[in-house]
């Protein structure tokens, strides 16, 4: 039996009996960004300066919803500090966030 190896950097010999199809383009080796990474990018770009609603689920199964304005980012705890409409300051751990969306100001006025 004879085995002939082809250089993968050169164009494939079309006459060769080869089980693998020609692959065009680059392979994406990085995993897609997580929700926490997306939130950090949005925060740093100033997109989360308005009131935001967060849905959270802790590892113990406790689910809650937090709505307020992000006051600052606690980098050591990987947590957003959010000020609610009542003035309370709450922690929102990035690892627990399952969804986030900006609250429209007109919808907030109707609730009050």
- 52-89 pLDDT tens trace: 999 999 888 888 899 999 999 999 999 999 999 899 99
Indicate if the pLDDT at residue 109 is higher than 50: no
Instruction: Quickly list DSSP for the chain.
Output: -------TTSPP-TTS--SSPP--S----SPPPPHHHHHHHHHHTTTT-S-EEEEEE-TTS-EEEEEEEEEEEETTTTEEEEE-TTS-EEEEEGGGEEEEEEPPHHHHHHH-
- How far is Cα 84 from Cα 101, in angstroms, rounded to an integer? 15
Residue 80 and residue 40 in contact, taking contact as beta carbons nearer than 8 Å = no
- 3-35 pLDDT tens trace: 667 676 777 666 766 666 666 777 677 788 888
**Please, what are the domains in the chain?**
35-111 (2.30.30.520)
Indicate if the pLDDT at residue 111 is higher than 60: no
Closest CA to 97 of 57, 41, 68: 57
Q: What is the pLDDT of residue 28?
A: 72
């Amino acid at each position: 039996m004879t085995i002939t190896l082809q250089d993968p950097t050169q164009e494939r010999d079309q006459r060769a009996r080869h089980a693998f199809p020609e692959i065009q383009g680059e392979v994406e080796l990085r995993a897609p960004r997580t929700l926490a990474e997306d939130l950090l990018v949005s925060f740093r770009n100033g997109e989360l300066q308005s009131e935001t609603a967060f849905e959270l689920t802790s590892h113990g199964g406790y689910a809650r919803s937090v709505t307020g304005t992000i006051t600052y980012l606690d980098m050591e705890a990987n947590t957003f500090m959010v000020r609610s409409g009542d003035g309370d300051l709450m922690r929102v751990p990035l690892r627990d966030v399952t969804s986030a969306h900006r609250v429209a100001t007109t919808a907030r006025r109707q609730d009050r």
